[in-house]
Amino acid sequence: MISICNKSVLETVSEKDIEALKPQAQAAAQTLEKGDGAGNDFLGWLHLPSEITAAELNDINATAKHLREQCDYVVVIGIGGSYLGAKAVIEALSDNFAAYKHNEGAKVVFAGNNIGEDYLSDLMRLLDGKRFGIVVISKSGTTTEPAIAFRLLKNMLEKQVGKAEASKLIVAITDAKRGALRSLATQEGYKTYVIADNVGGRFSVLTPVGLLPVAIAGFDINALVAGAVEMEKAPADMMTTYAATRNALYQAGKKIEILVNYNPNLHFLAEWWKQLYGESEGKDGKGIFPASVDFTTDLHSMGQWIQDGERTIFETVITVEKQRHEVVIPTDDADLDGLNYIAGKRVDEVNKMAELGTRLAHVDGGVPCMLITLPALTEKYLGQLIYFFEKACGMSGYMLGVNPFNQPGVEAYKRNMFALLNKPGYEAQSAELAKRL
């Protein structure tokens, strides 16, 4: 089981401060269970792991197998909660150089998470003449970024293999009834999966939104879900500790939480976590700012700021006990690089000492530090970690006094963009912006 340790925060907040907040965290967990808090129409994720049926998992695995067999590339189109969970899990489990290896099944590539013209052009040139399929994911079915990518790639696929064949290579994941993507999928006869009304985007990784891309990438979604079920069924102590500690730190002036990893596979796990906590807590003028760094890489960029800059930060370090592979540092007779003092040691031993040394230095520098330990980077432990962060997020949001399940702030840029693009229905805003500019 994954675990948490908050001992290294006790120079900043006392055990008493944290214990004093635990009843609030437990009450927040109760509120989630009873479903009587703010945003209670978005609690579908709470028992999702244990409610997914074997038949649902089999169906997702069968669709993944079909696409893996028929395609060299599967493009997963989506943004925000409709992409980050899948990306996080796939990156965490993948060989770091999988993109350069051939003949190992369909490669999952992502699109629709930006509006970069060169990105789309590069992707289309990569796919030109190749066997490819598309998984298009949008809960609302109307989001601009994925809609643009889908229009381009659908058009390209239909030209390459014909409309009828293309429809067998496209899967849509969207709302049961509403939205342009649902209408389009129905009309074109695509295989579809539903994102339930009561599961928000950033809590959707354990639905087909995350599970289908992860299965296409060749990973074990049954084990991922089983790990999440273990955390769902376990007592909420870990979540209580995390939620109470981060809120105690916030109250003590630590306004920024940096999620730290020492494993390049975890970069996107942090991106997923930032969306989860940022969109859930950052509202009503409140909320811990979620940031992230990849160590030791970023010790050579952000390390200075973290050690010596403004003391408004705390860290949550994710450590992975056991690596997938062993690499031992060789002895060199000449020792011109002076590294013989670590010859015979595993690279991970050095990494772990870097981690320990950094944690001690940061605590000495006034940066409180929590530690989350994963026994290994496997589907099961990632499932536990995902559910842990989701539930702790709901609890922490309620403790902060916000609705953790809405995101009213993300509409502001969309309104301006639509007005600037003269989208029908935005005439008044277009005129207003024209005056300002």
Segments in 71-204 forming alpha helices (H): 84-93, 117-127, 144-161, 163-167, 180-188
Instruction: Looking at residues 254 to 293 of the shown chain, list those that interact with ligand PA5 (rule: CB under 6 A).
Output: 279
Residue tagged active-site, from 279, 281, 315, 355: 279
* Listed ranges 36-44, 137-145, 225-233, 353-361: which one lies at the site for ligand PA5 (CB under 6 A): 137-145
Instruction: Please tell me whether residue 394 binds ligand PA5 under the rule CB under 6 A.
Output: no
Instruction: Please tell me whether residue 192 binds ligand PA5 under the rule CB under 6 A.
Output: no
**Alpha-carbon gap, residue 153 to 123, rounded angstroms:** 9
Q: Residue for token digits 């944690």?
A: 359
Instruction: Please tell me whether residue 404 binds ligand PA5 under the rule CB under 6 A.
Output: no
Does the annotation count 390 as an active-site position?
Answer: no
Does the annotation count 145 as an active-site position?
Answer: no
Task: Compute the least distance from the CB of residue 67 to ligand PA5, in Å.
Answer: 20
Does the annotation count 355 as an active-site position?
Answer: no
Q: In what order do the strands lie in the sheet with 132-138?
A: 107-111, 73-77, 132-138, 170-174, 191-194
Task: Compute the least distance from the CB of residue 81 to ligand PA5, in Å.
Answer: 3
Task: Compute the least distance from the CB of residue 183 to ligand PA5, in Å.
Answer: 15
Residues with Cβ within 8 Å of residue 86, at least 6 apart in sequence: 76, 78, 108, 205, 209, 210, 212, 213, 214
Residues with Cβ within 8 Å of residue 94, at least 6 apart in sequence: 217, 265
Position among 87, 191, 202, 359 found at the interface with ligand PA5 (CB under 6 A) = 202
Segments in 199-308 forming alpha helices (H): 208-216, 221-233, 237-251, 267-281, 303-308
Task: Compute the least distance from the CB of residue 239 to ligand PA5, in Å.
Answer: 20
Instruction: Please tell me whether residue 140 binds ligand PA5 under the rule CB under 6 A.
Output: yes
Nearest-10 Cα torsion for 306, 307, 309, 315? 40
Looking at the DSSP bridge assignments, the partners of residue 77 are: 111, 136
Instruction: Looking at residues 67 to 96 of the shown chain, list those that interact with ligand PA5 (rule: CB under 6 A).
Output: 79-82
Using a 10 angstrom Cβ sphere, with 0-12 exposed, 13-18 middle and 19 or more buried, the burial of residue 213 is buried
Instruction: Please tell me whether residue 198 binds ligand PA5 under the rule CB under 6 A.
Output: no
Q: Which CB atom, from 77 or from 243, has the smaller least distance to ligand PA5?
A: 77
Q: Which CB atom, from 213 or from 368, has the smaller least distance to ligand PA5?
A: 213
Q: Which CB atom, from 24 or from 138, has the smaller least distance to ligand PA5?
A: 138
Hey, what amino acid is at 197? D
Q: Which CB atom, from 91 or from 279, has the smaller least distance to ligand PA5?
A: 279
Task: Compute the least distance from the CB of residue 259 to ligand PA5, in Å.
Answer: 18
Task: Compute the least distance from the CB of residue 111 to ligand PA5, in Å.
Answer: 13
**Alpha-carbon gap, residue 350 to 374, rounded angstroms:** 18
Position among 200, 227, 278, 394 found at the interface with ligand PA5 (CB under 6 A) = 200
How many chain residues bind ligand PA5 (CB under 6 A)?
14
Position among 24, 138, 222, 245 found at the interface with ligand PA5 (CB under 6 A) = 138
Position among 139, 246, 254, 391 found at the interface with ligand PA5 (CB under 6 A) = 139
Residue tagged active-site, from 300, 325, 326, 411: 300
**Alpha-carbon gap, residue 72 to 418, rounded angstroms:** 36
Instruction: Please tell me whether residue 241 binds ligand PA5 under the rule CB under 6 A.
Output: no
> Phi-psi region for residue 175, left (φ > 0), alpha (ψ -120 to 50) or beta?
beta
- What DSSP character marks residue 92? H
SS3 389: helix
Task: Compute the least distance from the CB of residue 6 to ligand PA5, in Å.
Answer: 28
User: Which sequence positions are flagged as catalytic?
Assistant: 279, 300, 414
Interface with ligand PA5 (CB under 6 A)? 79-82, 138-140, 143, 146, 200-202, 279, 407
